[in-house]
Amino acid sequence: MVIGSAKFYFIRIDVLSKCLWLTLKSFNLRLWVITILFLVLWLIDLLLHILFRLVDEFFYRDFKKVQIKEPVFIIANPRSGTTFLHRIISMDGERFAYMKFAHTLFCSVSFIKFYNLLSRFDKAIGSPLKRVMNWTDSKLFKGWKGVHNMGFSQAEEDEALFAQMMQSSGIFVLFPFLNRIKNTHCLDCESETVRKNAMDFYESCLKRFMYATGSNKIYLAKNVNSTGRIQSILTKFPDARLIFIARNPINAVPSTASMFSAMYPLHSPALQKTDAEYREWCELSIAFYIHFDEVGKAFNQDKFLAVEYEDLVAEPIEIVERIYKQFHWNFTPEFREKLTLGIEKKRQYKSTNHYTLSQYGYSEKEIAERLNVIFEAFHFPYTSTPQQDSKNSVSSNEVIG
Q: Report yes or no: 396 and 351 within 8 Å, Cβ to Cβ.
A: yes
What pLDDT is recorded for position 141? 58
Vertex 156, ends 355 and 387: CA angle to 5°? 30
What pLDDT is recorded for position 173? 93
What pLDDT is recorded for position 132? 82
Give the phi and the psi of residue 374 in degrees, each rounded to 5.
-75, -45
Pairing relation of β-strands 72-76 and 2-3? Answer: unpaired
Contacts with 65 (C-beta within 8 Å, 6 or more apart), sequence order: none
Residue 139 CB burial class (10 angstroms; 0-12, 13-18, ≥19): exposed
**Residue 348: strand, helix, or coil:** coil
Q: Report yes or no: 371 and 289 within 8 Å, Cβ to Cβ.
A: yes
**Distance between CA atoms of 114 and 117, rounded to whole angstroms?**
5
Query: On the CB side of 321, how many CA atoms lie within 13 Å of its CA?
Result: 14
What pLDDT is recorded for position 308? 96
Q: Report yes or no: 171 and 184 within 8 Å, Cβ to Cβ.
A: yes
The alpha carbon dihedral of 371, 373, 379, 382 has a sign of: positive
Q: Look up the CATH number of the domain holding residue 78.
A: 3.40.50.300
What pLDDT is recorded for position 326? 97
Walking along the chain (401 residues) 10 residues at a time, the average pLDDT comes out as 92 96 95 95 94 96 95 93 92 92 92 90 85 73 56 78 95 95 95 97 97 90 94 96 96 93 93 96 96 91 94 95 97 92 67 79 96 96 63 49 57
The secondary structure of 166-235, three-state, reads CCCHHHHHCCCCCCCCCCCCCHHHCCHHHHHHHHHHHHHHHHHHHHHHCCCCEEEEECHHHHHHHHHHHH
Total structural domains within the chain: 1
What pLDDT is recorded for position 44? 94
**Distance between CA atoms of 98 and 109, rounded to whole angstroms?**
14
- Name the nearest CA neighbour of 214 among 96, 64, 92: 96
Pairing relation of β-strands 2-3 and 9-10? Answer: antiparallel
Residue 255 domain boundaries: 2-400
